[in-house]
Chains A and B, each alone.
Chain A
Amino acid sequence: MSMHAKDSTERGIDYMTDTRPIAAGGNTPGCKKRDPIVVAENVSRSFGGINAVDVEYLEIPRHKITALIGPNGAGKTTLFNLLTGFDTPNSGKWQFEGNSLAGVSSYKVARMGMVRTFQLTKVMGKLTVMENMRLGGSSQPGERLSKALFKGLWGGREKEITAQANVLLEKFKLDAKKDDYAASLSGGQRKLLEMARSLMVQPKLVMLDEPMAGVNPALTQSLLDHIKNLKAEGMTVLFVEHDMNMVRHIADWVVVMAEGKIVAEGPPGEVMKNPAVIDAYLGAHHDVDLGDAEGIKELEAELEADEESVVGTEDAGILSVDVIAAEVAQEKEQK
């Protein structure tokens, strides 16, 4: 475990092994948390009559890894945009560490310690990987026009930022690429770079929108460990992910969205047994537990009977829920 973990242990709590309950009461959708970092109330956003997000109440637990799951179009990315100031809701209020964020511009949200990545990866293609990383560095006096001309005023901080970037790049297996232009990276490497860059800001809450999409499977395991370790460094993580294995592996808490609403919340094991969740994802195929291998086998068997199902093709064995959900929706339409 890292040095930071020791720090947090010294303060009495090890966030890696903290087993105190997350919810303050029952695990109902929109339940109160023992120690929330984000609280959102009645946040709604509609696009041309369609309610993309309509969240009545949501708390994100501090020092935990929360997965935000739900079928495509559930409103997860839109919720990210709203919470981080990249989009403005039609109504609602929300706060981060007790500070109201309604109307606060996105860069200020990031400075307060709430940093997000994008589903459609955003790297600066014509900057090198290292320059991308340095851009994330905080309190660099040289970023002010009045000091930019004088290297003496910012060279020292630049060295610290570079050292910080080197450590992260190594963790994310990008150190060999650091002098390459980011445009030359593969899709998965760009995801990694974006995540590493967001950590350069040293956020309190890091919000990752589909961090594993396109990442080389050989890398995912070590990446999952890095995400887990963020907790040890005192960070809170909120991430969107479709891969249930990953969710089960690292999430302490799962929030399920469907059609803009929070439909279920709870620890991963519990949520994946929840009929409302299975409903949201699959429509039919109610009576399975996505959380254990038995349930998945059951579902696969059931899907095998369906001609349109992806199971039994080259995807066999990989339960990619969003693909199945799309297939099922298509199937429904045809009926």
Chain B
Amino acid sequence: MDYSSILSSAIGELISPTTAAYALAALGLAVHFGYSGLLNFGQAGFMAVGAYGFAISTLTFGVPFFVGLLIAVVASAVFALVLGIPTLRLRADYLAIVTIAAAEIVRYLVTTSGWTAVTGSANGLADFEDGFYSMNPFPEGSYLGMNNRDFFIRVVGWGLVVVCCVLIWLLMRSPWGRVLKGIREDENAVRSLGKNVYAYKMQALIIGGSLGALAGMVFTLPRGAVQPSNYGTELTFFLWTCLLLGGMATVLGPVIGAMMFWVVLSLTQGVLTGLIESGAVTWLSTIQAGQLRYILVGIALMLLMIFRPQGVFGNKKELAFA
């Protein structure tokens, strides 16, 4: 078995743009659930809105990169409003149901063949990333073993993660963040103190959703393609896994959680494939190995919930239930 290549591909996952995208989207979930108690089970929908918002405005309307970025974020904010207006006055579970459904609706809308010219239906869209890479300040060459494009997207993706983490940290230590945490605990108590709970929940939903939209773009740019199948319900649940791994009401938790998620997936894949190829394991095909690792992730998550329910970074005291 080639341990060094297994290890180096795991380290590669640590800083891959996909991991950065997962970190951003999971940070959005932390804003929703960890800080505000909003159950968003449709973060994949927000990512899809961001990715398609950017790709469609670039390809169909030919707007420059930053206008496309703005459109993607605004579209996700509108998506949040549409979901939030009818549900945020109701109990928390309504939002959960509506977000699951809405994310699926988004996926079906971009898959339907009626709008193939705009959405590309099941094949998705491609070739919208030139505007982004044309801004690449790094000349061609090798950067830590990467070409300049790969290096650029990592710098931008992780730069975005750092900026968003700092912003969310600043927000959550402010009185505004305190009101959100109060709402998470008991929204009627917060109402009785004269705070407009509905407005706060809406703001949190929009901010977390915008992080999802940015994640969708970071996810999609290095691939050079958006496809509906990338934004299924399982994506949302992987994001929840990252959040639970790292710790819910923390800023670094979702980031570390996303890194752990991808490193563990990569390591198990590498080890299992190595074992199969060396003939040590004969009862498993490489395809089955790919599926087995998700089962292992599930088991790891269960063990985590039992032995460290607050996540790696979470504060145990914050879990003390009344």
Contacts and interface: CB of A to CB of B under 8 A. Distances in A.
Q: Which of B190, B193, B321 has its CB near the most chain A CB atoms (within 10 A)? A: B193
A181 B317 contact: yes
A143 B193 contact: no
A115 interface: yes
Q: Is the interface of A mostly helix, strand, loop or mixed?
A: helix
Given A124-B182, A135-B182, A184-B320, A106 B175 contact: no
Contacts of A137: 175
Interface string A187-207: 000000010011011000000
Nearest to B322: A125
B182 A86 contact: no
A332 interface: no
Contacts of A118: 188-189, 192
Contacts of A154: 174-175
A110 B191 contact: yes
A198 B190 CA distance: 10
A194 B190 CA distance: 11
B190 A116 contact: no
A138 interface: yes
Interface stretch (A58-66, A145-153, A248-256, A304-312): A145-153
Nearest to B176: A148
Contacts of B322: 123, 125, 183
Nearest to A134: B178
Contacts of B182: 124, 127, 132, 135
B185 interface: yes
B170 interface: yes
A20 interface: no
Interface residues of A, number: 44
B192 A110 contact: yes
A149 B181 contact: no
Contacts of B319: 126
Contact of B193 (A110, A127, A158): A110
Contacts of B320: 125-126, 181, 183-184
A135 B178 contact: yes
B34 to A, nearest CB: 11
Contact of A126 (B174, B192, B318): B318
A235 B77 CA distance: 43
Interface string B28-70: 0000000000000000000000000000000000000000000
A72 to B, nearest CB: 22
Given A124-B182, A125-B322, A127-B185, A148 B192 contact: no
B296 interface: no
A140 B190 CA distance: 14
Nearest to B196: A107
A201 B194 contact: yes
Contacts of A135: 178-179, 182, 190, 193, 195
B171 interface: yes
Contact of B194 (A111, A142, A145, A194): A111
A103 to B, nearest CB: 14
B170 to A, nearest CB: 5
Interface in A78-115: 84, 86, 105-108, 110-111, 115
Contacts of A184: 320
A148 B171 contact: yes
B186 interface: yes
Contacts of B188: 86, 106, 118, 122
Contacts of A144: 176
A117 interface: yes
A106 B191 contact: yes
A135 B197 CA distance: 13
A107 B196 CA distance: 6
A148 B200 CA distance: 12
A14 B322 CA distance: 42
B213 to A, nearest CB: 18
Interface in A147-172: 147-149, 151, 154, 158
Contacts of B167: 149
Contacts of B197: 107
B30 to A, nearest CB: 14
Nearest to A135: B182
B174 A86 contact: no
Contacts of B192: 84, 86, 106-107, 110, 115-118, 122, 198
A198 B194 CA distance: 10
A131 interface: yes
Contact of B171 (A117, A149, A200): A149
A84 B322 CA distance: 25
B203 interface: yes
Q: What 3 A-B pairs are tightest by C-beta distance, nearest first? A: A148-B176, A124-B185, A142-B175
Given A122-B188, A125-B321, A143-B178, 18 more contacts: A86-B188, A107-B196, A110-B191, A115-B193, A118-B188, A122-B192, A123-B189, A124-B189, A125-B185, A125-B322, A126-B249, A140-B175, A142-B175, A148-B175, A149-B167, A181-B318, A181-B320, A184-B320
15 contacts: A107-B196, A117-B192, A123-B185, A124-B186, A126-B249, A135-B178, A135-B179, A135-B190, A135-B193, A137-B175, A138-B194, A145-B176, A148-B171, A198-B192, A201-B193
Interface of B: 167, 170-171, 174-179, 181-182, 184-186, 188-197, 203, 249, 317-322
